[in-house]
């Protein structure tokens, strides 16, 4: 494992029980940290997260929450590494936006009152390509292999993976990959979202906000996620593994 990945791991002593036999061994767990996000000097949220792609996490969160419309709205991004504070400034403050401090979060947002546009772009990808990409996507995470403690998100375009992100929370991983696309000036409506975890309403909310035509996961969707996605024309594909998948549309 490369040096950067090693810094995301912590060695711990554990007792492993296997075949009713106890063994004292050294294991590795994922590093969890706390990031404060300040928007125009106002502390609006703290994230429990993996300490990678933090600028992307902040930008992605502000976008999927509807606080900014594009990375062009951002004047300045500063990261205080010693205090784990991300400072993002926009000018002027988005009209009509009022902020209150949210709970420390790695697990999502409320979608009540959110409005979305109908998905207009049709999603077409060969099932064999989806299966091959998912296999590569899942097997590529060394952090998951060593700890089992991270979720992954990725964007696909033109039958290939553009980039992927990892975090202890599914929602953070999605915000990171969306933030990465925004900072890279990538049209999100031309991409589809890949996930390692469950497709929940919060994940669908973020996808609709980004106008991505499809969400594809190794895991399952929830009933509410299906209802929300179908209402706005989002294609959802779950249980993508081995040689099978379920298409919900």
**Runs of H (alpha helix) within 72-222:** 127-139, 142-147, 170-183, 201-209
Beta carbons within 8 Å of 59's beta carbon, 6+ residues apart:
68, 71, 74, 77, 88, 179, 182, 183
Domains of the chain and any CATH numbers:
33-90 (3.10.20.10), 127-248 (3.40.140.10)
What is the sign of the dihedral through the CA atoms of 55, 228, 196 and 9? positive
Which secondary-structure segment (H or E) carries 222? Answer: none
What is the sign of the dihedral through the CA atoms of 228, 229, 230 and 233? positive
Question: Residue 230: its pLDDT value, please?
Answer: 96
Question: Residue 108: its pLDDT value, please?
Answer: 45
Distance, in Å, from the CA atom of 28 to the CA atom of 13, rounded to the nearest integer, reads: 9
Q: pTM of this prediction?
A: 0.89
What's the chain's Rg over C-alpha atoms? 19
Walk along the chain (249 residues) in steps of 10 and give the mean pLDDT of each run. Answer: 71 95 95 96 95 97 92 93 94 59 49 75 94 94 89 96 96 97 96 96 96 97 97 97 93
Which 3 state secondary structure label does DSSP give 29? Answer: strand
Question: Residue 109: its pLDDT value, please?
Answer: 47
Cis status of the peptide bond prior to 92, with omega within 30 of 0: yes
Nearest 5 degrees, angle CA 150-CA 154-CA 155? 170
The number of beta carbons lying within 10 Å of the beta carbon of residue 47 is 26
Strand order in the sheet with 85-90: 42-49, 33-39, 85-90, 74-80
Rounded to an integer, what is the distance from CA 5 to the centroid of its chain? 18
Q: Which residue has the tokens 């999603």?
A: 123
85-113 residues labelled b (16+ CB within 10 A) or e (exposed): bbbbebeeebeeeeeeebeebbebbebee
Question: Residue 170: its pLDDT value, please?
Answer: 94
């Amino acid at each position: 494992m490369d040096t950067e990945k090693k810094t995301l791991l912590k060695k711990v002593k554990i007792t492993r029980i296997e075949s009713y036999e106890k063994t004292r061994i050294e294991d590795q767990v994922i590093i969890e940290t706390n990031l404060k996000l300040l928007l125009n000097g106002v502390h609006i949220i703290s994230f429990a997260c993996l300490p990678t792609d933090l600028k992307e996490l902040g930008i992605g969160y502000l976008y999927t929450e509807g606080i900014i419309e594009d990375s062009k709205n951002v004047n300045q991004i500063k990261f205080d590494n010693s205090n784990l504070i991300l400072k993002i400034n926009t000018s002027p403050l988005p009209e009509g936006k009022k902020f209150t401090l949210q709970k420390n979060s790695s697990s999502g947002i409320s979608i009540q009152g959110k409005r979305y546009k109908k998905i207009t772009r049709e999603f077409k990808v060969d099932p064999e390509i989806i299966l091959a990409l998912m296999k590569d996507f899942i097997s590529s995470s060394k952090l998951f292999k060593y700890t089992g403690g991270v979720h992954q998100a990725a964007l696909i375009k033109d039958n290939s993976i553009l980039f992927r992100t990892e975090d202890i929370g599914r929602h953070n991983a999605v915000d990171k990959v969306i933030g990465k696309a925004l900072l890279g000036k990538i049209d999100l409506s031309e991409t589809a979202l890949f996930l390692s975890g469950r497709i929940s309403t919060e994940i669908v909310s973020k996808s609709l906000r980004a106008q991505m035509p499809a969400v594809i996961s190794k895991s399952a969707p929830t009933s509410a996620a299906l209802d929300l996605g179908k209402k706005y024309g989002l294609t959802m594909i779950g249980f993508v593994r081995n040689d099978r998948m379920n298409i919900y549309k």
